Amino acid sequence: MPKLQFSTSRVWITPVLLMVSIVCMAQAPTPEPVTDQETQLGQAVYDELRNKGEIIESSPLYEALKPITEAISRRAQPRYNHPFKFFLVHEKQPNAFATPGGNVYVVDSLLYFVKNTEQLAGTLCHEVSHTIHHDAVHRMQEQQRIEMRELGAAILLGPGLAQMIAITMLGDLQSNAYSREVESAADVTGSDICAATGYNPWGLIWLFQEFQDADPKQIPELLSDHPANGTRIQTLEKHFRDNPEVFAKFNPNPKSATPLIVPKDAAEQFLPPSGH
């Protein structure tokens, strides 16, 4: 009889342990179905990242990210016509970038690189603002690597062309900054979104300030790609001064920051290549 009890409890414990481990490994969202050129380009970039094995399918890091991305999505969503979705990716440099269609990619090491919640929130608010401003699509049009009439039209691109644009776009997003004006515009819109969520919009300024005097080789792409941080700080500070009803309540002192709690050495499972 005691023997039977023991084996019964073991049978019961195993599924519970399995459930616990599944609950802790929060999952990546799935991309939005393709309905227009922006979602099509977003999907093509997603396929590219997935085929390179960079997209993290599940990790406890998603749990750390979720409260921030949910708050940002709630405030940013009315300004964009596709749902914002945040994916963790594994790359060499701490970074974040946003594609047309609403997908935002956050490099896993960024969660360890930022000093506090406000710096991470500020970075993500900045990235969703690039999407809201359609910056990636505008840059592709300006570079004239593709015909204007093809990008921006209401029709879907041929799959080969979509993939070609996506590869160029991804390379640009990973390593080339937008112009100072475009970056500053994303900073300003991002600060409005962050302020609306309640995350202190000074977080992005704190991030810039930390690297102002650093050796350029030591600065991660996220910041070295964003030129003229001094000018960008000034633009943001002016925006805060000009709109005291929104920004005066936030503390400019980084000592008021909220620590970001991230599990150490978090496990990561990658999405396997989709095979197309």
Q: Which residues bind Zn ion (CB under 5 A)?
A: 183
Q: Of 157 and 186, which has the nearer Cβ to Zn ion?
A: 186
Shortest Å, Cβ 226 to Zn ion: 6
Query: Cβ(130)–Cβ(178) under 8 Å?
Result: yes
Shortest distance, position 126 Cβ to Zn ion, whole Å: 6
Between 183 and 192, name the residue whose CB sits nearer to Zn ion.
183
Which residue's CB atom is positioned nearest to Zn ion? 183
User: By C-beta, is 65 or 128 nearer to Zn ion?
Assistant: 128
Give CA–CA dist 209/236, Å, rounded: 13
- Whichever of 60 and 138 has its CB closer to Zn ion, that residue is 138
With H, G, I as helix, E, B as strand and everything else as coil, classify residue 80. Answer: coil
Nearest distance, CB of residue 71 and Zn ion, angstroms: 20
CB of 26 to Zn ion, least distance (A): 26
Residue 172 CB, shortest distance to Zn ion, in Å, is: 11
In angstroms, give the least distance from the CB of 143 to Zn ion. 17
Describe the crossing of helices 135-143 and 159-175 by its angle, rounded to 10 degrees.
100
**Dihedrals φ, ψ of 39, to 5°?**
-70, -35
> What is the closest distance, in whole angstroms, from the C-beta atom of residue 173 to Zn ion in the complex?
9
Nearest Cα residue to 221 out of 174, 185, 167? 174
Task: Return the half-sphere exposure (C-beta side, CA atoms, 13 A cut-off) of residue 191.
Answer: 27
Which two structure tokens, joined as six digits, stand for 85?
């979705």
Dihedral sign, CA of 196, 115, 45, 178? positive
Amino acid at 242: D
Among positive and negative, which fits the CA dihedral 225, 228, 233, 235?
A: negative
DSSP annotation of 156 reads P
In the block, residue with structure tokens 């690189």: 113
What number of CA atoms fall less than 13 Å from residue 248's CA on the CB side? Answer: 5
Shorter beta-carbon distance to Zn ion: residue 54 or 183: 183
Judged by beta carbon, residue 124 or residue 266, the one nearer Zn ion is 124
Nearer to Zn ion, 47 or 183 (CB): 183
